[in-house]
Amino acid sequence: MLHSVAHAPAACLDGGFMTAGWNDVSAALHTSTYSLQALVVACRPLLRPGASVVGLDFDASRAWPGYDWMGVAKAGLEACSRYLARELGPDRIRVNLVAAGPLRTLAARGIGGDGASFEAGWATKAPLGWDAADPAPVARTCLALLSDWLPATTGEIVHADGGHHIIGS
Distances (CA, A) of 4 to 27, 35, 77: 16, 10, 11
Question: φ, ψ for residue 94 (rounded to 5)?
Answer: -95, 145
Length of the chain: 169
Closest CA to 64 of 116, 110, 20, 118: 118
Question: In the sheet where 2-3 sits, what is the strand order?
Answer: 2-3, 52-57, 94-100, 157-160
Point out the residues that are catalytic: 67, 74
